[in-house]
Amino acid sequence: RKEVEQDPGPFNVPEGATVAFNCTYSNSASQSFFWYRQDCRKEPKLLMSVYSSGNEDGRFTAQLNRASQYISLLIRDSKLSDSATYLCVVKNRGSTLGRLYFGRGTQLTVWP
């Protein structure tokens, strides 16, 4: 079983829509959680960390459910520029600088 599973999509939504992505992780000892964004033919970049109490950054809201081993990302009022692949990322307990586990990504296209 993969460490991190995501629905690959694609999600195609109109501008202004709200869209949610989900992700599950298999290791209950996972410690840190992130969402990365990858634009077409570009390298991944950190979008936001995910905290236990949930956190918001502008139009983006991340939630973590440790009991269900589930992470979500909600994007409100979608913009054309939100079109990208969103990667769910998990770090397991252990070395502070240990490897991150990346999901395969969920592709989002926002259309005018």
Partner 1 sequence: GAGVSQSPSNKVTEKGKDVELRCDPISGHTALYWYRQSLGQGLEFLIYFQGNSAPDKSGLPSDRFSAERTGGSVSTLTIQRTQQEDSAVYLCASRTVGNEQFFGPGTRLTVL
Residue from 1, 67, 97, 112 touching partner 1 (CB under 8 A): that is 97
60 binds partner 1, rule: CB under 8 A:
no
Q: Provide DSSP, 49-108.
A: EE-TT-EEETTEEEEEETTTTEEEEEE-S--GGG-EEEEEEEEESS-TTPPEEE---EEE
Q: Of 14-22, 44-52, 53-61, 62-70, which part binds partner 1 (CB under 8 A)?
A: 44-52
Q: How many residues at the interface with partner 1, by CB under 8 A?
A: 19
SS3 (DSSP) at 34? strand
Beta bridge partners of 46: 36
Which residue, 11 or 105, has its beta carbon nearer to partner 1? 105
Residue choice 28, 45, 54, 80 for contact with partner 1 (CB under 8 A): 45
- 93 touches partner 1 (CB under 8 A): no
| Residues 75/93, Cβ–Cβ less than 8 Å | no
Note the residues at the interface with partner 1 (CB under 8 A).
Answer: 34, 42-46, 49, 87, 95-105
